[in-house]
Amino acid sequence: MKDSFFAATTYVIFNQKVLLIKHPKIGKWLPVGGKVEVGESPDDAVKREVLEEVGLEVENILSRRTDSKKIDSFQYVQNEDLGSKYHIDFIYYSKPKTDEIKLDNEIKEAKWFDYQTYLSIKDDLFNDVKDELDKIYLEYLKYDPYVLIDKNKINELRSEKPVFVVVNHTDRKTLTFIKFLKDSFNTDILFLTKNYSVDKSAEKEIKKYVYNFSISTVSEVKHQLNTIFLSRKIIVFDLSAIFYNEIDDIKNKERIFIIEDTKNGVIYSEPNKATRFSIANSLLKRQIENPAVARTIFTAALKYFRTRNIQINQYSKILVLGIGSIGINLLSLFSKISQNTYGYDKDYSRLLLASIFNLKTTNTLEDISSFDYIFGVTGDKVALSEKHLNLLKENVYLINCSTYKFEFDTSFFNNKKIRLEDNLEIIEIREGEFIYRVNEGYPINFYDNVGTEEPVINTVFAYMIDFISSIFGSNKTFENKTYEVDNIDFSISKKYIEYYYRRFLR
């Protein structure tokens, strides 16, 4: 019969890093640990081992409680057959007050590993150690998609000193994005935002990191790119559909690289003069951001109606106009409330896709006057023609969920009376009759100044930085045209999707 002994092992965690030691006999990186001595509890043993081997005083992170007052904070027990004996190992997480290591004579090497440095040694680790570290970095630690960015590729792009142009809302999420750009690349950043989406506290912080701070106009940015930064490579993160159509005014357009997350921009008139990378149809957007945007629109709509005592129930007739990946998610959410929820799209394949999910669709808008609520999620300027709009009954709610300013028939609305009531634009259709159009196409207002969830947007931001760094770090050459990013490096999308799913969609 084999002998068995108890051991206690801990993953010491400090500031998003994990401490590993190089085992003096095995020669592999392992968490700190050792045998439980006679009369000693595993809780005490693991604290003693850490103090002896690396000079740190630690507190065990409570995971579960047992009937024993002696053993109450281990994560799990691992049984190992070591050949001549059994190893019964209590596995802990611990936290120290400092990261200052003091090695004893036996341990020659110990290091703090962040996620990136862990990946550099991952292939050489024991499987159980790899599994536990994956769980710690991807599930236990604070969710931070920026840790996934390949820092080696950043260094290659950094040496080129590009100018970054960031076009987005002024909020804490954008601040995190800009701060990471500045800290990682130490280069010039130009920032452009919209006047309705400025968080004053975030604005104050962002101004510390950018060369300029401009609201609602691109003229200043264009002037700086054509004078101060005329000889520099320009990388544009255009997330708010401001910069797309200004490219023709920039000199030496071949030095411009745009990464965009929407298809709403009109392609600039001179082709083949700048390179565009679109994540609008990427797997990352379809599986993470677009469902989250649909949830935000849905939640905001319910809140909006509730605060105005407007009834929306199983008998309400709802139309989701445009059932791309956001629209299909929105259609699915409203279908849970009303059995009279329909989707419409001029693209037959999208209608077919919706039917696969057992969602109701309509091929015609001839009966549009029967709908109570119409949510436009298409980005199509003529989604509703003047003919359709004239059919609308009094007090129907026509809600623009697209980022595009004029989703519905532009000429029709330009000739109608509009008055503002809170965030609601009331548009007179016929004398004494009104339809309601929310927020002139800018979702940030409709989202009650909340926007899409922070983890989602941070994931998109980090993904874009990683993608751009990978493109320029790989010495690839590109024609001056628009590329779908998943056709270039599909592995980057999958990495961020896996991280997000492990944390939020398990």
User: What CATH number should be reported for the domain holding residue 237?
Assistant: 3.40.50.1480
Tell me how far CA of residue 112 lies from CA of 100, 109, 183, 234, in angstroms: 10, 11, 21, 36
Degrees, nearest 5: CA angle 301-304-305 = 90
The yes-or-no verdict on residue 423 having pLDDT over 60 is no
Annotate 473-490 with b (16+ C-beta within 10 A) or e (fewer).
beeeeeeeebeebbeeee
Note the pLDDT of residue 293.
87
**Number of domains present in the structure of the chain:** 3
Residues 6 or more apart from 126 whose CB is under 8 A from it? Answer: 28, 30
For residues 399 and 370, membership in a common domain is answered with yes
Q: At 20, which CATH number?
A: 3.90.79.10
- What is the average pLDDT value for the chain, to the nearest integer? 84
Note the pLDDT of residue 52.
93
Per-residue confidence band for 67, with pLDDT thresholds at 50, 70 and 90 = very low
For residues 156 and 186, membership in a common domain is answered with yes
How far is it, in rounded angstroms, from Cα 411 to Cα 371?
A: 23
For residues 412 and 308, membership in a common domain is answered with yes
Per-residue confidence band for 432, with pLDDT thresholds at 50, 70 and 90 = low
User: What is the per-residue pLDDT across 27-56, written as a single tens digit (0 to 9) for each?
Assistant: 899 999 988 888 888 888 999 999 999 999
User: What is the per-residue pLDDT across 435-468, written as a single tens digit (0 to 9) for each?
Assistant: 766 544 444 456 555 667 889 999 999 999 999 9
Percentage, residues of the chain above pLDDT 70: 83
Total residue length of the chain: 506
The yes-or-no verdict on residue 410 having pLDDT over 70 is no
How far is it, in rounded angstroms, from Cα 234 to Cα 225?
A: 8
On whether residue 140 sits in a domain, the answer given is no
Note the pLDDT of residue 447.
56
On whether residue 38 sits in a domain, the answer given is yes
Per-residue confidence band for 65, with pLDDT thresholds at 50, 70 and 90 = very low
For residues 425 and 344, membership in a common domain is answered with yes
For residues 294 and 245, membership in a common domain is answered with no
How far is it, in rounded angstroms, from Cα 354 to Cα 342?
A: 10
Give the distance, in angstroms, between the CA of residue 316 and the centroid of all CA atoms in the same chain.
33
On whether residue 128 sits in a domain, the answer given is no
Note the pLDDT of residue 381.
65
User: What is the per-residue pLDDT across 105-153, written as a single tens digit (0 to 9) for each?
Assistant: 788 899 999 999 999 999 999 999 999 999 999 999 999 999 999 888 8
Note the pLDDT of residue 83.
56
Note the pLDDT of residue 85.
61
Q: At 404, which CATH number?
A: 3.40.50.720
Cβ 371 vs Cβ 395: under 8 Å: no
Per-residue confidence band for 334, with pLDDT thresholds at 50, 70 and 90 = very high
For residues 271 and 290, membership in a common domain is answered with no
Nearest to 199 by CA among 177, 221, 175, 217: 175
Note the pLDDT of residue 496.
96
Cβ 309 vs Cβ 485: under 8 Å: no
Least confident of 125-134, 381-390, 425-434: 425-434
From 114, 138, 167, the end of a domain falls on 114
Domain holding 49, by residue range, is 3-114
Give the distance, in angstroms, between the CA of residue 459 and the centroid of all CA atoms in the same chain.
3
